[in-house]
């Protein structure tokens, strides 16, 4: 049976000198609209304001962002030295657009490394062709990684309903997703269950995006406020929790959307297995502990005036970390494209991620 079509989060268009097209996720589920980015400012703005979001998807956007930077050098008729300097300066801006998901820096570094294979006399057009090849490779690879993660994840999901957090589907990646791919693959294999998704305060990626993606595929989905997760897990209705990741350290500590840590603690309290799903590009083996992961803090307005509607009195301040860290000891297994890492230890991580 042909698997159902999944939404596309971003694509490259060769029209009019080339542009990165992004499905504007801030408008979903109400409106499906694409924005075209022909300069790096627009790419950085789209990443910062979560028009494109999710660790693998922002990595892919960073890769194409370098192609956009080379396009700027072509338009400004820069010579080879100035073109390379321009792309490198824009690479630093792209990599810093959001600090927590390591996939962004990883993808930008890959593009920059590809440039090192080019002669120093390479023109802006040469740089652009090389960067486009690398960005397309990253994008294509992510599609394949998502499929593998979906297969491995479906195999370890126990029977019963499943709870997830934030959005880890096609919108968050270049393919079918990570944690959500495990769920949709299990469904496509004929298993039947209900998916519970936290609404995911404050920007509602669970309610707006995960519920939309699952609804498109006809998979039953129930949205709960984040604070209802403890009550749901205590009811015994949920067989497993599965979430994505923005950065996983060498010992398995995992940064993911704010609220994930609370969910892991609650899952442990109720003996419900808690899984993380992520590609190898989400691992940062240069750091040991979760305390070393930079946690993005976002604008207070996202909390004080959700979706533009003022909820707190003028003068109130907000604490708005976008991510938290779940310690490895609370994670039953990490699903990667290479298989499931369980138990989660430094040794099992290194063994799974080492080149075959």
Q: Applying CB under 6 A, which of residues 205, 249, 281, 326 lies at the interface with ligand MRU?
A: 205
Question: Which residues are known to be catalytic?
Answer: 246
Cβ contact 234:270 at 8 Å:
yes
Q: Which of 152, 154, 223 is nearest to 187 (CA)?
A: 154
SS3 (DSSP) at 251: coil
Residue nearer to ligand MRU on the CB measure, 78 or 264: 264
Q: Applying CB under 6 A, which of residues 46, 78, 94, 101 lies at the interface with ligand MRU?
A: 101
Shortest reach from residue 178's CB to ligand MRU, in Å: 4
SS3 (DSSP) at 340: strand
> Looking only at residues 244 through 273 of this chain, which bind ligand MRU when binding is defined by CB under 6 A?
244-246, 256-257
- Near ligand MRU by CB under 6 A, which window of 70-78, 112-120, 171-179, 262-270? 171-179
Residue nearer to ligand MRU on the CB measure, 84 or 165: 165
> Looking only at residues 228 through 247 of this chain, which bind ligand MRU when binding is defined by CB under 6 A?
244-246
- Near ligand MRU by CB under 6 A, which window of 30-38, 50-58, 79-87, 190-198? 50-58
Shortest reach from residue 322's CB to ligand MRU, in Å: 5
Residue nearer to ligand MRU on the CB measure, 86 or 208: 208
Shortest reach from residue 260's CB to ligand MRU, in Å: 7
Q: Does 53 bind ligand MRU (CB under 6 A)?
A: yes
Instruction: Find the helix or strand (DSSP H, E) in which 339 lies.
Output: strand 339-341
Between the alpha carbon of residue 126 and those of residues 67, 70, 81, 90, 94, the distances in Å are: 11, 9, 12, 17, 20
Q: CB 259: neighbour CB atoms within 10 A?
A: 21
Give the Cα separation of 200 and 162 in Å (integer).
16
**Which runs of E-coded beta strand occur in 10-168?**
10-13, 19-23, 34-37, 161-164
Q: Applying CB under 6 A, which of residues 35, 56, 198, 336 lies at the interface with ligand MRU?
A: 56
Give the Cα separation of 314 and 304 in Å (integer).
9
In the complex, the residues that contact ligand MRU under the rule CB under 6 A are 50, 53-56, 101, 166, 168, 172-173, 178, 205, 244-246, 256-257, 322
């Amino acid at each position: 049976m042909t698997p159902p079509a999944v939404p596309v989060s971003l694509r490259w268009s060769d029209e009019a000198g080339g542009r990165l097209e992004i499905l504007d996720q801030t408008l979903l589920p109400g409106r499906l609209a694409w924005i075209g980015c022909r300069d790096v400012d627009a790419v950085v703005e789209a990443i910062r304001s979560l028009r494109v979001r999710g660790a693998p998807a922002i990595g892919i956007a960073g890769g194409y962002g370098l192609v956009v930077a080379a396009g700027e050098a072509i338009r400004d008729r820069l010579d080879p030295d100035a073109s390379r300097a321009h792309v490198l300066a824009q690479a630093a801006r792209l990599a810093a657009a959001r600090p927590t998901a390591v996939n962004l820096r990883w993808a930008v570094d890959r593009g920059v490394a590809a440039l090192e294979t080019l002669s120093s006399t390479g023109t802006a057009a040469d740089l652009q062709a090389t960067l486009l090849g690398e960005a397309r490779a990253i994008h294509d690879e992510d599609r394949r990684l998502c499929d593998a993660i979906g297969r491995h994840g479906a195999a370890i999901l126990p029977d019963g309903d499943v709870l997830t957090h934030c959005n880890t589907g096609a919108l968050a990646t270049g393919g079918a997703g990570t944690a959500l791919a495990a769920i949709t693959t299990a469904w496509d294999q004929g298993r039947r269950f209900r998916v519970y998704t936290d609404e995911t305060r404050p920007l509602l990626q669970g309610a707006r995006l995960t519920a939309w993606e699952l609804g498109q595929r006809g998979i039953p989905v129930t949205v709960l406020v984040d604070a209802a997760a403890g009550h749901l897990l205590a009811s015994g209705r949920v067989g497993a929790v599965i979430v994505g990741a923005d950065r996983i350290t060498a010992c398995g500590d995992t940064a993911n959307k704010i609220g994930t840590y609370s969910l892991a603690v609650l899952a442990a309290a109720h003996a419900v297995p808690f899984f993380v799903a992520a590609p190898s590009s989400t691992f940062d083996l240069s750091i040991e502990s979760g305390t070393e992961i930079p946690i993005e803090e976002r604008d207070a307005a996202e909390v004080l005036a959700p979706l533009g509607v003022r909820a707190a009195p003028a003068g109130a301040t907000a604490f708005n970390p976008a991510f938290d860290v779940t310690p490895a000891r609370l994670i039953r297994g990490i699903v990667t494209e290479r298989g499931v890492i369980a138990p989660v230890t430094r040794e099992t991580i290194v063994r799974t991620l080492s080149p075959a």
